């Protein structure tokens, strides 16, 4: 993803560091960097969030529409993801260059939120079979500096948390057509329940049997293969995907998955909180408001 | 924030200063400048002075008889000369500077080197010292084996030999101290933050060697006991954990100094390093914004004493 080339000596330094358990910036293998989440920046959207992690910078907006549901799911609201890789983020995104990455990101997000256990879409229903709320989530990648998938998923969760939809009242019926009134009271809003919304965690395979999370662009340069895992706050793994050319030994993969499920589980969460501030932020999503 | 047309400029500036002070996390520019308590920050196009008796320095131009800033930065005045020191810039190049660069391409009898400048600099095969310090003309054999010396991605420490008419920098490594850099880590900061110094490679007392490239690239490596005869062979031995801890701490200290726009010199880096140990911060703690600010302030305070 990132367009940097390292010398053999630098790569060697990074790989040896991971083997010895100390990364170039002093972190251990499973340490996250400090990240910055800001919500409610775009006044024209129902919800928005901007996340910066290292050099990576993404802006996410959520807009709500009322639409008829598909016949097979008459009672479920919908959530759609659109990703745009700005040419400002990296020169190779110019023209149609970022399309592959955008497609894989939006497919990943689609799968992440497809499980009914991660987001209860039935609460987005207004009139079963006729009108449901559809959330359009637009992801704009402003700067691409490593660990993009994690950052985007965090931003989506934050933006959904910050989403405020005006309350809709059914006022009457006119010839089979329902009449609606949309509340213009800023206090009368519906929120999206994100308490079970998942996030993505990327494991980068640096060397045999060793993976790191939250890699810097330099580290991404040393290991071509990553596994992206979607996990809910209850420790449920909703999706996994391997990125890049390369192989994961079965034990490495299962170890990575176990680490994520284990540390993210509320019973064990406190052990992870000590080493990373990220999980405090995500687990208690109420703290998203600290910046706003 | 929208401003009505014709809004009072002073009001705007007051508001801007207030926002800068309030949002310490985002804009960290005010910590490091020592010469004046309140340096004036200007943006391009801003009028610096109406007084025509001042001389026009770098980063300014004259328009309709008034002096206007052409870059964003701090106004500095030396007698009657006014210059604007940019906050961020690309490397302009000066003959004799020691710089750190990364090879981007190998071409016939020259390498292209990224030195944080507008154009990639060139390093000619005839301008490097051949392995073993041989003194002879380069032949076709040498040209064929260029990749064995330096290949794409390699880091080199070289000096600027000449600035061509089109702004291209020509580099040279005709000395035992220049050449390929071995294991370590590279940091990129703004060239305007690097203190001008004759000596660029420092063996710091904490046990690491730091190359402060004049172009803003800073390379940190373990100290080597003695100069190796050949400067194009890299040592692939595993670096011990203790040395890594020192390098990691130095790296994070330089990062935090750069983040707070504090000039980077061996003295300031060592001060920040000692401060971070004194205040018992772990290496990874130095990645947190509040800790970074604490250490930066402590460094400035200790250096002003």
Flag if B284 and A34 touch (Cβ within 8 Å): no
For the ranges A153-167, B224-238, B280-294, which has the lowest average pLDDT? B224-238
Flag if B184 and A10 touch (Cβ within 8 Å): yes
Residue A56 — left, alpha, or beta (φ > 0 → left; ψ -120 to 50 → alpha)? beta
The span from the CA of B122 to the CA of B143, in Å, is 15
Residues of A (13-42) whose Cβ lies below 8 Å from B: 13, 16-17, 20-28, 31, 33-34, 36
Flag if B236 and A12 touch (Cβ within 8 Å): yes
The span from the CA of B256 to the CA of B263, in Å, is 11
What is the predicted pLDDT for the residue at A63? Answer: 95
What is the predicted pLDDT for the residue at A89? Answer: 84
Tell me the H-state helices in chain A: 8-20, 99-112, 148-162, 217-222, 250-264, 266-275, 277-283
Flag if B185 and A12 touch (Cβ within 8 Å): no
Question: What value does the mean pLDDT take over residues B162-179?
Answer: 89
**Residue A3: which residues within 8 A CB-CB, separation 6 or more?**
A90, A91, A92
By CA distance, what is B186's nearest residue in A? A10
Rounded to the nearest 10 degrees, the angle between the axes of helix A266-275 and helix A250-264 is: 100
Chain B residue set in contact with A, beta carbons under 8 Å: 25, 102, 104, 152-155, 180-186, 234, 236, 238-239, 241, 244-245, 247-249, 251-252, 282-284, 286-289
Which of the 8 DSSP states describes residue B264?
A: B
Residue A152 has φ and ψ, to the nearest 5°, of -65, -45
What is the predicted pLDDT for the residue at B290? Answer: 86
Domains of chain B plus CATH, in order, are 38-87 (2.40.50.100)
Q: Are A126 and A66 in contact (CB under 8 A)?
A: yes
More confident residue, A269 or A95: A95
What residue ranges do the domains of chain A occupy? 11-276
Q: Is residue A269 predicted with pLDDT exceeding 80?
A: no
What is the predicted pLDDT for the residue at A120? Answer: 86
The span from the CA of A159 to the CA of A63, in Å, is 10
By CA distance, what is B291's nearest residue in A? A34
For the beta carbon of residue A96, count every other beta carbon within 10 angstroms: 9
A and B: number of Cβ contacts within 8 A:
81
**ipTM more than 0.85?**
no
Question: What value does the mean pLDDT take over residues B49-60?
Answer: 86
Looking at the complex, report in whole angstroms how far the Cα of residue A31 sits from the nearest Cα belonging to chain B.
9
Looking at the complex, report in whole angstroms how far the Cα of residue B52 sits from the nearest Cα belonging to chain A.
40
Q: Is residue B33 predicted with pLDDT exceeding 70?
A: no
More confident residue, A175 or B172: B172
* A11-276 is a CATH 3.90.110.10 domain: no
Q: How confident is the model at residue B232 (pLDDT cuts 50, 70, 90)?
A: confident
- What proportion of chain A, given as a percentage, has pLDDT over 70? 88
The span from the CA of A199 to the CA of B172, in Å, is 50
Residue A144 has φ and ψ, to the nearest 5°, of -120, 105
What is the predicted pLDDT for the residue at A264? Answer: 59
What is the predicted pLDDT for the residue at A146? Answer: 84
Residue B98's DSSP bridge partners are B159
Sign, CA dihedral A10-A15-A16-A22, equals positive
- Tell me the pTM: 0.81
Name which of B153, B181, B251 is nearest A24 (Cβ-Cβ): B251
Question: What value does the mean pLDDT take over residues B195-215?
Answer: 89
The span from the CA of A248 to the CA of A246, in Å, is 7
Q: What's the mean pLDDT when you consider all of chain A?
A: 83
Count how many residues are written for chain A. Answer: 292
More confident residue, A45 or A237: A45
Q: Are B102 and B116 in contact (CB under 8 A)?
A: no
What are the C-alpha distances in Å from A184 to residues A63, A179, B246?
16, 16, 59
What is the predicted pLDDT for the residue at A280? Answer: 37
User: How are the residues of chain B apportioned to helix, strand and coil, as percentages rounded to the nearest 5?
Assistant: 25, 30, 45
Residue of A8, A13, A27 best to disrupt the B interface, most CBs of B under 10 A: A13
Q: Is residue B203 predicted with pLDDT exceeding 60?
A: yes
Q: Are A141 and A83 in contact (CB under 8 A)?
A: yes
What are the C-alpha distances in Å from B60 to residues A202, B57, B76, B83?
47, 6, 11, 7
By CA distance, what is A10's nearest residue in B? B183
Residue of A3, A4, A9 best to disrupt the B interface, most CBs of B under 10 A: A9
- What proportion of chain B, given as a percentage, has pLDDT over 70? 85
* Strand B185-188 relative to strand B217-222, pairing: antiparallel
Dump pLDDT digits (tens) for A15-46.
999 999 899 999 988 888 888 888 888 989 99
């Amino acid at each position: 993803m990132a367009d940097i080339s390292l010398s053999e000596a630098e790569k060697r330094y990074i790989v040896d560091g991971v083997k010895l358990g100390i990364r170039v910036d002093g972190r251990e293998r499973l340490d996250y960097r400090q990240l910055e989440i800001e919500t409610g920046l775009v006044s024209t959207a129902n919800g928005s969030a901007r996340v910066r992690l290292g050099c990576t910078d993404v802006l996410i907006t959520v807009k709500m529409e009322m639409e008829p549901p598909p016949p097979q799911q008459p009672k479920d609201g919908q959530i759609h993801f659109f990703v745009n890789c700005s040419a400002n983020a990296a020169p190779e995104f110019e023209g149609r260059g970022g399309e592959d990455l955008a497609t894989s990101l939006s497919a990943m997000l689609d799968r992440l939120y497809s499980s009914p256990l991660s987001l209860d879409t039935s609460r987005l229903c207004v009139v079963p079979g006729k009108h449901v709320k559809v959330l359009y989530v637009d992801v704009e990648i402003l700067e691409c500096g490593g660990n993009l998938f994690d950052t985007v998923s965090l931003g989506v969760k934050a933006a959904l948390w910050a989403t405020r939809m005006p309350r809709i009242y059914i006022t009457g019926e006119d010839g089979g057509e329902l009449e609606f009134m949309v509340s213009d009271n800023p206090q009368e809003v519906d929120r999206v329940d994100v308490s079970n919304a998942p996030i993505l965690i990327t494991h980068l395979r640096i060397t045999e049997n060793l993976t790191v999370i939250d890699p810097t662009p330099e580290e991404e340069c040393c290991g071509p293969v990553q596994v992206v895992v979607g996990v809910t706050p209850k420790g449920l793994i909703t999706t996994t995907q391997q990125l890049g050319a390369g192989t994961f030994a079965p034990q490495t993969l299962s170890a990575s998955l176990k680490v994520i499920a284990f540390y993210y589980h509320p019973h064990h969460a406190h052990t992870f909180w000590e080493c990373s501030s990220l999980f405090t932020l995500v687990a208690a999503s109420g703290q998203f408001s600290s910046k706003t | 924030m929208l401003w009505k047309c014709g809004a009072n400029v002073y009001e705007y500036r007051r508001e801007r200063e207030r926002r800068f002070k309030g949002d310490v996390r985002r804009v960290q520019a005010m910590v490091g400048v020592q010469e004046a308590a309140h340096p004036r920050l200007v943006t391009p196009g801003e009028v610096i002075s109406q007084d025509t008796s001042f001389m026009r320095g770098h980063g300014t131009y004259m328009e309709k008889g008034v002096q206007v800033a052409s870059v964003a930065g701090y106004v500095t005045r030396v007698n009657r000369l006014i210059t604007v020191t940019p906050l961020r810039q690309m490397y302009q190049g000066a003959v004799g500077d020691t710089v750190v660069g990364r090879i981007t391409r190998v071409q016939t009898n020259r390498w292209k080197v990224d030195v944080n400048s507008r154009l990639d600099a060139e390093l000619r095969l005839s301008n490097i010292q051949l392995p073993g310090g041989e003194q002879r003309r380069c032949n076709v054999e040498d040209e064929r084996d260029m990749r064995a010396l330096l290949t794409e991605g390699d880091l080199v420490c070289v000096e600027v030999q000449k600035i061509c008419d089109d702004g291209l920098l020509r580099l040279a490594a005709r000395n035992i101290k220049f050449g390929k850099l071995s294991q370590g880590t590279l940091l990129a900061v703004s060239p305007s933050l690097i203190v001008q110094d004759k000596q660029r490679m420092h063996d710091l007392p904490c046990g690491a060697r730091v190359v402060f490239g004049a172009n803003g690239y800073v390379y940190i490596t373990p100290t080597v006991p003695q100069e190796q005869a050949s400067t194009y062979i890299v040592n692939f031995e595993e670096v011990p954990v203790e040395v890594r801890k020192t390098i990691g701490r130095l790296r994070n200290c330089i990062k935090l100094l750069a983040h707070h726009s504090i000039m980077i010199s061996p003295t300031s880096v060592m001060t920040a390093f000692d401060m971070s140990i004194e205040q018992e911060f772990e290496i990874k703690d130095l990645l947190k914004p509040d800790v970074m600010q604490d250490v930066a302030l402590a460094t400035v305070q200790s250096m002003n004493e």
